[in-house]
Amino acid sequence: MRVLVTRPAGQSDRLVDVLTDAGIKTSCLPLLHLKAVTDTAKIEAIKKQWLPLSQQDFVIFISSNAVKYTAEFLAKHNLIWPSSLPCIPIGGATAKAIQDVGWLLKHAMDVDVDVNVNENNESHNQAEKPPSAALSAYSSEKLLAELSQLDVSEKRITIFRGEGGRELLADNLTSRGASVNYCEMYQRQHPEYSREQFEQALGQNLTAILFASGETLENFNRHVERDGLQTRVEGLPVIVPSERIKDLAERNGFKNILIAVNASAEGFLQVINQQLLK
């Protein structure tokens, strides 16, 4: 079998390795390009946000890319991350990225846990850092469901993300009295392919298409509509990591949609093994 991977260039290596090790052939068609913010005015605006960052009650990282580009920005501009600032991730990959850079990873229900002092006068956190596996299915919607149990009135929250994106989190938190800022660390661009390049990526005997985000799915569909390839792809199995993206795939005309537990390599492989390799 052969599956089409649509993740951004440089972001698909592990997924390809895991699938290849399982004996599954892959083709890659990056449908999203990410790059760090380079505009001088935007860089200066981000620097100004660092001074009050330690006064935030907590921050939310939308993706592992948000963590990656934030860490790179810190290193490039000699800035230090506030060590006691709670970081709430969306998704297991984001949680792991926070753990990897050594920042304070918190579950949404633990953001009010204070730092106290033990008998040796060493500060420690009352709650253990949650393992990334426990947060693997942690979507924006699930995060909101948990935060809805907390009083966020007058809480100061910064959301780290790429430019643009959904407003779901900020709108909900703001409506409940929180003060929410964005720190946009990277840009998204949509690669363009000729019809020949696109058809070559589809090729023959394609078994399934993997979409890790709604944005990659929508860019795929733009090429499909432009080149009149709807009948060629609408019956192909597509694997997506959430009900939200499943709904989007249905609106874009896909007929055979499978849902992975998350957007990890293991999540996609599990669906392939259980539902396509029966």
Q: At what angle do helices 243-251 and 214-227 cross, to 10 degrees?
A: 10
Q: How many domains does the chain have?
A: 2
Q: 3-state class of 183 per DSSP?
A: strand
pLDDT for res 91:
76
Whether residue 118 is contained in a domain is answered as no
Residue found by looking up tokens 């399934």 in the block: 208
> Is the pLDDT higher at 169 or at 59?
59
Last residue of a domain, one of 139, 162, 189: 189
Residue 55 CA, chain-centre distance (Å), reads: 25
pLDDT for res 133:
47
Whether residue 127 is predicted with pLDDT greater than 70 in this model: the reply is no
Whether residue 259 is contained in a domain is answered as yes
Whether residue 263 is contained in a domain is answered as yes
What residues have CB less than 8 Å from 180, skipping those under 6 apart? 157, 158, 159, 169, 170, 173, 174
Tokens of 27: 């083709």
Q: Are residues 53 and 148 in the same domain?
A: yes
> Is the pLDDT higher at 266 or at 221?
221
Whether residue 120 is contained in a domain is answered as no
Distance set, CA 38 to CA 20, 34, 42, 77, 201 (Å): 35, 12, 7, 12, 31
Domain containing residue 142: CATH number = 3.40.50.10090
Q: Are residues 169 and 44 in the same domain?
A: yes
Domain containing 46 equals 35-113+125-189
Can you list the positions of beta strands (E) in the chain?
2-5, 25-28, 33-36, 58-61, 87-89, 115-117, 123-125, 156-162, 179-189, 208-210, 237-240, 256-259
Over residues 172-178, the mean pLDDT reads 91
Task: Give percent above pLDDT 70 in the chain.
Answer: 88
Query: How many other C-beta atoms can be found within 10 angstroms of the C-beta atom of residue 236?
Result: 16
Q: Are residues 164 and 106 in the same domain?
A: yes
Region label for 239, one of left (φ > 0), alpha (ψ between -120 and 50) or beta (otherwise)? beta
Rounded CA separation 246/172 (Å): 23
Last residue of a domain, one of 171, 189, 207: 189
Whether residue 61 is predicted with pLDDT greater than 50 in this model: the reply is yes
pTM given for the model: 0.79
Q: Are residues 54 and 166 in the same domain?
A: yes
Q: Are residues 165 and 177 in the same domain?
A: yes
Whether residue 274 is predicted with pLDDT greater than 70 in this model: the reply is yes
Q: Are residues 88 and 210 in the same domain?
A: no
Q: Compute the chain's Rg from CA coordinates.
A: 20
What is residue 55's DSSP assignment?
G
Whether residue 64 is predicted with pLDDT greater than 60 in this model: the reply is yes
Whether residue 144 is predicted with pLDDT greater than 80 in this model: the reply is no
pLDDT category, 70, cuts 50, 70, 90? very high
Q: Are residues 136 and 75 in the same domain?
A: yes
Whether residue 194 is predicted with pLDDT greater than 90 in this model: the reply is yes
Rounded CA separation 58/106 (Å): 9
Distance set, CA 42 to CA 6, 47, 67, 202 (Å): 29, 9, 18, 38
Can you list the positions of beta strands (E) in 147-252?
156-162, 179-189, 208-210, 237-240
Rounded CA separation 63/89 (Å): 7
Rounded CA separation 79/219 (Å): 35
pLDDT for res 112:
59
Q: Are residues 171 and 197 in the same domain?
A: no
pLDDT for res 78:
94
Q: Tens digits of per-residue pLDDT, 84-124?
A: 999 998 877 788 889 999 999 987 767 653 333 333 333 33
